[in-house]
Structure 1
Amino acid sequence: MSNSLNAHGFQQEATASILVLVDAPQGSALRELEHMDNKGRLVIVTTHNPCPEYWEDLWSFQPAVLLVGDSLGDELHDAITRAAQGDHYRSTPGYSTVLTVPERIVLHYIARGWSLERIAEARGVSSKTVSNTITTICEKLGLSDRSAAMLYYWGRLDLLV
């Protein structure tokens, strides 16, 4: 990636005003954004994760640009240029989440490996409500259980085979 960016006239600098955050391994971009102080810095996030709920969580951190799919070529070069010009956008495949915001939050907690009790406490609801929500999430996404939901969120349903 560095050679490709350099070939287009971009340079790597530790103090650059634009940060390109590549989600590799999958899930690392979310962890970085959760702990990052990006004041005064534009962030471009690129991920191969196919989970729309994951994209929504990345977008909630307000990066300048979110690119989903194979975006390390010309699309990334364009994103850097557009971000430098003040554009804020996301380029995602043509489908979105079927989950409500509260369901998406519970899915995020499931992906983190949280127990029913911990999720219930964080959401201010009963464990039974969380259990029902997990059932609804799995039904909507066509998943068998919370383990499958966890793999779905991290873009690793291939591990169920």
Structure 2
Amino acid sequence: MKLLIVDDDPLVCQSLTLLLDREPDIDIVATAQNGAEAIDACRTSLPDTILMDIRMPNMGGVEATREIKHQWPQVRIMMLTTFQDEQNIRLALLAGADGYLLKSTDTTSMAKHLRALSSGSSVLDHSVLQQLTQPQVGEFDELTPREKDIVQLVAEGFSNKEIAQHLYISEGTVRNTLSVILEKLMLRDRTQLAIFYWRQR
């Protein structure tokens, strides 16, 4: 396994390099301290697996993951972070990350998970998986009454034009409001929004 380690803390990079390089089947080909450096390292070092921090200066891990997956879709990316909040988890996975581990994971387990990732499996830390599968409490209630009306109509299959006619607003207002709703709920498109609505029922 040719591994690239990406973290803005040089000590983290150094520690992970020293610990994981002891594994006979893991070859640390490069390290990087932000997303832009990670993209450059992919060009020069050709890793097949990446350990990627999420929050870094200049370019974060989510943006870097999206760009790397676009240019090198075969590269496997494991997000490694201290952040357990659902927003970061979903953003990373939507960007194309193949796995998500916490920095508190011990090195032996990390190596095992990296091997699983490299072989084609998706890897989610148990606490991360719990975070994803727990009911989303209160999110729908945070929407305004008008936003809730639009979500319901989207879930019932109405087009933007039909929603505009139904609520006596412009199509542009419907589009803008939908963008706000998707951002609030951390969803990607109308299909996910409809699924979200029916799960709340």
Which interval holds the TM-score relative to the shorter structure?
0.5 to 0.7
Q: Which residue of 2 is the match for residue 81 of structure 1?
A: 115
Corresponding letter in the other structure for 1:31: E
Name the residue aligned to 1:95: 131
Unmatched runs of 5 consecutive residues or more in structure 1: 104-120, 138-161
2:176 aligned to which of 116, 125, 133 = 125
Q: Partners in 2 of 1:2 and 1:19 — Cα distance? A: 12
Flag the structure with larger Rg. Answer: 2
* Structure 2 residue matching 1:124: 3-state secondary structure: helix
SS of residue matched to 1:12? strand
Structure (1 or 2) with the greater helix fraction: 2
Letter in 1 for 2:131: Y
Distance 1:29 1:92, change over 3 A: farther
CA shift, 1:123, in A, is: 7.6
3-state SS of paired residue (1:43): strand
Structure number with the bigger relative contact order (C-alpha 8 A, sep ≥ 6) is 1
Percent identical among aligned pairs is 5
Mark the CA change 1:24 to 1:92 in structure 2 (over 3 Å): closer, same or farther: farther
TM-score by length of 1: 0.56
1:34 to 59, 66, 72: 66
Mapped partners of 1:72, 1:24: distance in 2:
21
State the alpha-carbon separation in 1 of the partners of residues 173 and 28 from structure 2: 40
Query: For the aligned residues, what is the CA RMSD?
Result: 3.5
Count of residue correspondences = 115
1:12 aligns with 2:28: yes
Note if contact 2:76-2:98 (Cα within 8 Å) is conserved in structure 1.
Answer: yes
2-side partners of 1:40 and 1:122: how far apart? 40
Distance between the aligned counterparts of 2:123 and 2:18, measured in 1?
A: 25
Change (3 A) 1:130 1:11: closer
Task: Kindly state the Cα deviation for residue 64 of structure 1 after the two structures are TM-superposed.
Answer: 2.2
The Cα shift of 1:68 comes to 3.1
TM-score normalized with structure 2 length: 0.46
Q: State the distance in 2 between where 1:69 and 1:123 align.
A: 41
8 Å contact kept, 1:46–1:69: yes
Alpha-carbon deviation of 1:2? 0.2
Q: Is the 8 A contact 2:98 2:122 kept in 1?
A: yes
Q: Find 1:23's aligned residue among 33, 42, 54.
A: 54
Do residues 2 (structure 1) and 17 (structure 2) align? yes
Measure, in 2, the Cα distance between the counterparts of 1:122 and 1:67.
Answer: 40
Query: Gapped runs of 5+ residues in structure 2?
Result: 1-15, 30-44, 144-171, 187-201
Which runs of at least 4 in structure 1 moved beyond 6 Å after TM superposition?
none
Q: Given the superposition, is the C-alpha separation of residues 69 and 20 from structure 1 closer, same or farther in structure 2, using an over 3 Å criterion?
A: closer
